[in-house]
């Protein structure tokens, strides 16, 4: 786990063509102010040393840099900085030395091979590169060699450029550089793919050339190859985050702290250009989905490298959708295959060809289902212990099964969370109580709602207070009914109404008189009929992409959060009976004193919402948060977008995609690809 302090957000003195932070810049989500005390307080809460990060962290005031590094030395004994190196001066090197700061520099090669790390025009770009090269030499001479990050692309890693790179790396080696991390290009924009992306074959050729080069440079490590061999041996304790089933909602390896002290995730996951804060708990929906989804559908099912690779970094996922595997699959497969062959020739037995691989995979999958992320090495050592009869008592305790939906929400900001989290937690209770209030106006019919067992005593008491009767029937009496509480807690269908109505409804159900039972429920007949048919997702979701009208309050896209006025799916988004029922429901809620809750509900129903399902993982996005959860495995992509009626959602983020506001602050109306 690494703390990344980002005082200036994504602000940078360069404008690298391929920077993975560009979506945030394009969305207008810059921030240039910081509060050192708030950042330190958050860093202390997380604990451990920090890396100063950007954008470009050397844009900070020099006094603040010194303040942070001195604090890092005092609290952790050292700190680090990741910089583009252009701004490094003597006084910075002095700071690094005095406060034990490890330096990481991003550079893609010498002179013109570094041109993709752009600085306004080609002259300034070359000047910047010269400054970085000189800073590297001075650091080696006057302090300690920095670690380097090199991204491979057309500008530095095509066949004609590899010899130049090899010479440069030899020179770096002679200067004392020992740690060099190679990155494959992350493509977030079509123009980057066109101008800079290498083909899979070119990437593999470049990686293999660097692997050969490493053999001739004693002590110099290109982290990648050693990590991949370690993975094939089941030694994954120290491998990088990209091999460790990274959850894009919590990015365990990166604990970002923004200038205002707010938590944030690894920027590689911000495809919408929105810097979401961390969800409360980690989840592994992506890895369960990839394990089960055929490779032809962008999953990893059946791949013998899955145990090691796990679909790799979610920031490099196909189509920018984290539910897909990495777009560099071919490269990793070839590289793993090459290393695997070399290991076998050297008399080693990689995990890929050992029968235990299947069981290890299964154990990782079971752990992800429990909400745990296990290392291969721990799983392997448990497996050996079981085989040798040794105790298996040292495994990590199982995490609670079935994390609440609320805990897989990632908010767009801390202020959005503070404003809305409690409201969303309160709304389901209010909607349950409204079942009783609705029942108090009914004649021969009953009001119903799927509820958890724990809510029943409270609701029954409320019913009695209103002179009504209450009952609880099994969930199957109301197929496809919507539970407005977390899954795993559902007990049954709550009925409220006059004593004789509840008794009649119960009797009808118990005698198998389904028609008679349905007739006693205060629900639109058309919707009841629709609900009795098998539906596995919100209506409309059978289409690849649909839009739903803006002005209605009966959609169930927010039902996973506990927000649905109707207890069942409406049969269509514009069902007049359902609309009428929703209008009456709201009118009654106002009369019964739920004015605050009603205002929140009106807000929720005014939001634009996108709902999508891919590989059995559903993601719901609103301008204030995104959330995800597992649904029935279904490889067919499905998408619903609801425009909403809010001109601007208070506290809503700007982003590059629906449902976020455009960078200019305008609602997105037409770019969602389906006719209006």
Decide if residue 309 touches ligand SF4 (CB under 6 A): yes
Query: Nearer Cβ to ligand SF4, position 291 or 660?
Result: 291
Query: Nearer Cβ to ligand SF4, position 93 or 282?
Result: 282
Q: Which stretch binds ligand SF4 (CB under 6 A): 136-144, 246-254, 432-440, 529-537?
A: 246-254
Q: Which stretch binds ligand SF4 (CB under 6 A): 121-129, 247-255, 624-632, 660-668?
A: 247-255
Other beta carbons within 10 angstroms of residue 602's beta carbon come to 13
Helix runs in 143-220, H state only: 162-175, 190-195, 200-215
Decide if residue 151 touches ligand SF4 (CB under 6 A): no
Query: Nearer Cβ to ligand SF4, position 314 or 567?
Result: 314
Decide if residue 251 touches ligand SF4 (CB under 6 A): yes
Q: Which stretch binds ligand SF4 (CB under 6 A): 208-216, 306-314, 368-376, 401-409?
A: 306-314
Q: Rg of the Cα trace of the chain?
A: 28
Task: List CB contacts of 388: < 8 A, sequence separation 6 or more.
Answer: none
Q: Which stretch binds ligand SF4 (CB under 6 A): 125-133, 297-305, 418-426, 507-515?
A: 297-305
Q: How far apart are CA 507 and CA 513, in angstroms?
A: 8
Instruction: Quote the least distance from Cβ 251 to ligand SF4, whole Å.
Output: 4
Query: Which residue from 333, 342, 385, 419 is in contact with ligand SF4, where contact means CB under 6 A?
Result: 333
Decide if residue 126 touches ligand SF4 (CB under 6 A): no
Q: Which stretch binds ligand SF4 (CB under 6 A): 169-177, 321-329, 388-396, 628-636?
A: 321-329
Q: Which stretch binds ligand SF4 (CB under 6 A): 210-218, 304-312, 381-389, 390-398?
A: 304-312
Decide if residue 658 touches ligand SF4 (CB under 6 A): no
Decide if residue 300 touches ligand SF4 (CB under 6 A): yes
Residue 608 and residue 623 in contact, taking contact as beta carbons nearer than 8 Å = yes
Decide if residue 282 touches ligand SF4 (CB under 6 A): no
Decide if residue 253 touches ligand SF4 (CB under 6 A): yes
Decide if residue 314 touches ligand SF4 (CB under 6 A): yes
Decide if residue 452 touches ligand SF4 (CB under 6 A): no
Query: Which residue from 65, 116, 119, 313 is in contact with ligand SF4, where contact means CB under 6 A?
Result: 313
* Torsion on CA atoms 79, 85, 88, 92, rounded to nearest 10: 0
Other beta carbons within 10 angstroms of residue 229's beta carbon come to 17
Query: Which residue from 274, 303, 438, 553 is in contact with ligand SF4, where contact means CB under 6 A?
Result: 303
Q: Which two tokens stand for residue 199?
A: 């083909």
Decide if residue 80 touches ligand SF4 (CB under 6 A): no
Instruction: Quote the least distance from Cβ 242 to ligand SF4, whole Å.
Output: 4
Decide if residue 449 touches ligand SF4 (CB under 6 A): no
Decide if residue 161 touches ligand SF4 (CB under 6 A): no
- Cα distance between the two ends of the chain: 46
Decide if residue 326 touches ligand SF4 (CB under 6 A): yes
Residue 637 and residue 321 in contact, taking contact as beta carbons nearer than 8 Å = no
Which own/partner contact pairs does 575-583 have at CB distance under 8 Å and 24+ positions apart? 575/524, 575/526, 575/527, 577/524, 577/525, 577/526, 577/527, 578/524, 578/527, 578/554, 579/552, 579/553, 579/554, 581/523, 581/524, 582/552, 582/553, 582/554, 583/553
CA–CA distances in Å: residue 486 to residues 284, 317, 491, 602, 605:
18, 29, 11, 22, 20
Decide if residue 268 touches ligand SF4 (CB under 6 A): yes
Decide if residue 246 touches ligand SF4 (CB under 6 A): yes
The DSSP code sequence of 279-319 is PSS---HHHHHHHHSBGGGT--BT-TTHHHHTT--GGGBGG
Using CB under 6 A as the binding criterion, the count of chain residues that bind ligand SF4 stands at 25
Q: Which residues, 216 to 245, sit near ligand SF4 by CB under 6 A?
A: 241-242
Place of tokens 């003195």: 13
Helix runs in 441-537, H state only: 456-465, 499-510, 514-519, 525-532
Say what angle helices 595-606 and 414-439 make with each other, to 10 degrees. 120
Residue 27 and residue 272 in contact, taking contact as beta carbons nearer than 8 Å = yes
Q: Which stretch binds ligand SF4 (CB under 6 A): 7-15, 308-316, 377-385, 460-468?
A: 308-316
Instruction: Quote the least distance from Cβ 115 to ligand SF4, whole Å.
Output: 24
Decide if residue 292 touches ligand SF4 (CB under 6 A): no
Query: Which residue from 230, 254, 561, 661 is in contact with ligand SF4, where contact means CB under 6 A?
Result: 254
Q: How far apart are CA 484 and CA 472, in angstroms?
A: 16
Q: How far apart are CA 253 and CA 464, in angstroms?
A: 53
Decide if residue 657 touches ligand SF4 (CB under 6 A): no
Residue 139 and residue 102 in contact, taking contact as beta carbons nearer than 8 Å = no
- Containing H/E element for 64? helix 62-76
Residue 595 buriedness (CB in 10 A; 0-12 / 13-18 / 19+): exposed
Q: Which stretch binds ligand SF4 (CB under 6 A): 8-16, 72-80, 307-315, 395-403?
A: 307-315
Instruction: Quote the least distance from Cβ 395 to ligand SF4, whole Å.
Output: 24
Residue 31 and residue 262 in contact, taking contact as beta carbons nearer than 8 Å = no
Q: Which residues, 520 to 539, sit near ligand SF4 by CB under 6 A?
A: none
- What residues make contact with ligand SF4 under the rule CB under 6 A? 241-242, 246, 251, 253-254, 266, 268-269, 295, 300, 303, 305-306, 309, 311-315, 325-326, 329, 332-333
């Amino acid at each position: 786990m690494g703390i990344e302090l980002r005082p200036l957000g994504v602000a940078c003195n360069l404008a690298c063509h391929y920077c993975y932070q560009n979506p945030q810049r394009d969305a207008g989500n810059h921030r240039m102010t910081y509060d050192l005390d708030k950042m330190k307080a958050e860093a202390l809460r997380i604990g451990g040393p920090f890396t100063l990060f950007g954008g470009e962290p050397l844009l900070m005031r020099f006094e603040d840099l010194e303040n942070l590094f001195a604090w890092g030395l005092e609290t952790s004994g050292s700190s680090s900085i990741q910089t583009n190196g252009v701004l490094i001066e003597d006084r910075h090197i002095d700071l690094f030395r005095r406060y034990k700061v490890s330096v990481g520099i991003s550079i893609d090669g010498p002179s013109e091979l570094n041109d993709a790390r752009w600085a306004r025009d080609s002259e300034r770009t070359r000047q910047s590169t010269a400054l970085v090269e000189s800073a590297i030499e001075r650091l080696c001479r006057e302090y300690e060699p920095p670690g380097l990050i090199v991204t491979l692309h057309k500008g530095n890693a095509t066949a004609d450029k590899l010899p130049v790179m090899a010479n440069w790396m030899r020179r770096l080696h002679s200067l004392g550089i020992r740690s060099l991390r190679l990155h494959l290009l992350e493509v977030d924009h079509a123009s980057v793919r066109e101008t800079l992306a290498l083909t899979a074959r070119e990437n593999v050729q470049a990686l293999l050339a660097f692997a050969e080069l490493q053999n001739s440079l004693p002590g110099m490590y290109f982290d990648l190859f050693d990590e991949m061999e370690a993975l094939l041996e089941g030694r994954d304790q120290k491998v990088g985050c990209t091999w460790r089933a990274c959850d894009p909602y919590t990015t365990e390896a990166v604990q970002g702290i923004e200038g205002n002290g707010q938590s944030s995730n690894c920027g590689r996951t911000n495809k919408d250009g929105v810097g979401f804060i961390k969800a409360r708990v980690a989840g592994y929906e992506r890895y369960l989905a990839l394990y089960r989804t055929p490779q032809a559908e962008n999953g990893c099912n059946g791949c013998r490298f899955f145990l090691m690779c796990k679909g790799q970094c979610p920031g490099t996922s196909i189509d920018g959708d984290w539910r897909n595997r990495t777009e560099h699959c071919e490269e990793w497969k070839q590289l793993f295959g090459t290393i695997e062959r070399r290991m076998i020739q050297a008399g080693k037995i990689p995990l890929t060809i050992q029968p235990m691989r299947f069981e290890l995979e299964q154990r990782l999958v079971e752990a992800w289902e429990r909400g745990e992320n296990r290392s291969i090495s721990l799983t392997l050592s448990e497996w050996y212990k079981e085989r040798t009869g040794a105790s298996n008592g040292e495994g990590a305790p199982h995490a609670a099964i079935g994390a609440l939906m609320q805990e897989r929400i990632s908010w767009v900001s801390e202020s959005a969370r503070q404003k809305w989290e409690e409201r969303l937690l309160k709304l389901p209770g209010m909607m349950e109580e409204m079942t009783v209030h609705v029942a108090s106006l009914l004649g021969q019919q009953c009001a119903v709602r799927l509820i958890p067992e724990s809510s029943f005593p409270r609701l029954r008491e409320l019913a009695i207070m209103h002179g009504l009767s209450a009952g609880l029937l099994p969930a199957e009496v109301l197929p496809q009914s919507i539970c407005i509480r977390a899954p795993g807690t559902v007990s049954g269908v709550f009925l409220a109404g006059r004593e004789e109505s509840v008794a009649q409804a119960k009797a009808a159900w118990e005698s198998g008189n389904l028609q008679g039972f349905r007739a006693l429920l205060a629900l639109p007949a058309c919707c009841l009929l629709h609900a009795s048919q098998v539906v596995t997702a919100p209506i409309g979701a059978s289409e690849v992409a649909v839009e739903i009208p803006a002005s209605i309050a009966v959609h169930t896209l927010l039902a996973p959060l506990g927000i649905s006025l109707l207890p069942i799916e409406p049969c269509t988004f514009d069902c007049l009976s359902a609309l009428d029922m929703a209008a009456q429901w709201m009118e009654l809620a106002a009369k019964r004193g739920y004015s605050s809750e009603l205002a929140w509900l009106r807000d929720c129903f005014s939001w634009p919402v996108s709902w999508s399902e891919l590989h059995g993982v559903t993601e719901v996005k609103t301008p204030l948060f995104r959330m995800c959860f597992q649904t029935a495995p279904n490889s067919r992509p499905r998408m619903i977008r609801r425009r909403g009626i809010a001109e601007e959602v208070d506290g809503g983020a700007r982003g590059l995609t629906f449902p976020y506001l455009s960078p200019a602050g305008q609602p997105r109306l037409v770019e969602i690809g389906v006719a209006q």
